[in-house]
Structure 1
Amino acid sequence: MLHWYVEVDWDDPRHDALAQLVTDSNQTLVDAGFPVTPVEHRWLHITVDQISRPAHLIDQAERDELVAEVTHRVTAIAPFTIMIGTVLSYASGAIADTHPDHQLAALHTAARAGTRITLGDDACRYEFGIQHLATAYAYAEAHSDSAQRLLRRVRPSHAPLHINAVHLVDVTADLQAKTIAWERVARVPLGTAL
């Protein structure tokens, strides 16, 4: 499936605190014996939108047009920084909240508009909700209150994420291994970002 993602640029030193937050949170859960698979840093992302049409049914000309449409729309969105955290215990594993929401919502609106114009309404069935960054996926049931008590002790509990692009990616999920990976199709800079 093709998705629009915010990826973390780990070469940016502004993300050192985020790397530490994710590492400390995951290590806390693993050390306590919680059944989670930590997400490798390279696969950390925020889902901006999912394209409902299967990727193999979207040809190269449509992909090129999709990227052009979204590029046109995100030039009006300047690069921005959000806060990631606190990490929360969740049914699917551990997720980090994002704040503030309005800039991610604007990014979603731009990506969705480009998708709708290029691929039609049927490609726009993803329900956009409160965004998050998944840090670990659960592979068995556990007591989430106990996990949350441990996660709340991780300090600092928040870290900045600088966002200067949105990425069109082709996602593959391994449900047994509880991993999500992707191949990047295109990087679309925000505003005048390079």
Structure 2
Amino acid sequence: MERFTPCFQGRPWADGMEVIHAYLLPQAGVDEELLALAHACRPALLDYPIDPAYPAQAADPGELHVTIEMVADAPTAEISRNEQQALIEALHGELADVERFETEVGPPIGNRAGALLDVWPDAQAVALQGRVRAAIRTARGAAALQHDGGRLHMSLGYSYDSANSDSLNSRLRAITPRRAPLQVDIVHLLNVRFAINRDTGGWRLTWEPLAAIPLGGN
């Protein structure tokens, strides 16, 4: 692994900048198996230069998330409240007939940016991503879709220095069970902020909620 650096419009993120994202979030009291899997990984992550996305308290999801899409045409500061409301309304309209579903995440994998859980099966999640992108395109235009996050995944933590991912993966392979269900019934629109963590020198993610869009219009 190497030090993770988030990007916006193909360039390194500006410290403290905020950008609107659509995320899936695990829920305490609902996704209990998933949170147990994530917390089982935490001791291994702490032995490497990885800042876990969740605290030590069991069943606390912290900042665990699956990125569905970034609104990449402008930072949040340049998107007015009326424009944000138009985006929220477009998402409500686009997702009103999308049924809630269950998928799975796992196994835990160390990679270049830290550690993650891949989403699989992913057909419904990818279809949902397409609908979210359609809503963003309707509200913001094609220029808002510049982000390529690769395969859908849940980040366990971001790396703040270089290390050997092979040895981390040996630790993670010993963790069982290897996979866990994720209930998908809400798309969260969030104001996401990446800033330098002064303790580690790495990037830390935080967010403020803008809207929660239920699938199926419920």
TM range, smaller chain:
over 0.9
User: Could you tell me how far 1:129 is from its partner in structure 2?
Assistant: 2.4
User: Could you tell me how far 1:177 is from its partner in structure 2?
Assistant: 4.2
The reply on whether 1:27 has 2:43 as its aligned counterpart is yes
Moved more, 180-189 or 61-70: 61-70
User: Could you tell me how far 1:133 is from its partner in structure 2?
Assistant: 0.5
Please give the alpha-carbon distance, in whole angstroms, between the structure 2 residues aligned to 1:165 and 1:23: 23
Alignment equivalent of 1:166, drawn from 168, 184, 187: 187
SS of alignment partner, residue 191 of structure 1 = helix
The reply on whether 1:68 has 2:89 as its aligned counterpart is yes
Alignment equivalent of 2:71, drawn from 33, 46, 51: 51
Moved more, 100-109 or 77-86: 100-109
Q: 1:189 is aligned with what amino acid? A: P
User: Could you tell me how far 1:11 is from its partner in structure 2?
Assistant: 3.1
User: Could you tell me how far 1:178 is from its partner in structure 2?
Assistant: 3.0
Aligned to 1:101: 122
Relative to the length of structure 1, the TM-score reads 0.92
Relative to the length of structure 2, the TM-score reads 0.83
The reply on whether 1:36 has 2:36 as its aligned counterpart is no
Flag as ranges the 4+ runs of structure 1 deviating above 6 A. none
The reply on whether 1:7 has 2:20 as its aligned counterpart is no
Question: How many residues are matched?
Answer: 189
Alignment of 1:106-125 (within 5 A): 106-125=127-146
Q: 1:93 is aligned with what amino acid? A: G
Please give the alpha-carbon distance, in whole angstroms, between the structure 1 residues aligned to 2:101 and 2:154: 16
Alignment equivalent of 2:162, drawn from 114, 126, 141: 141
Please give the alpha-carbon distance, in whole angstroms, between the structure 2 residues aligned to 1:65 and 1:105: 23
CA RMSD of superposed structures (Å): 1.3
Give identity over the alignment, percent.
28
Please give the alpha-carbon distance, in whole angstroms, between the structure 1 residues aligned to 2:79 and 2:159: 32
Gaps of 5+ in 1: none
More helix by share: 1
Moved more, 44-53 or 58-67: 58-67
Gaps of 5+ in 2: 1-18, 55-60
Give yes or no for contact 1:26–1:136 (8 Å, CA) kept in 2.
Answer: no
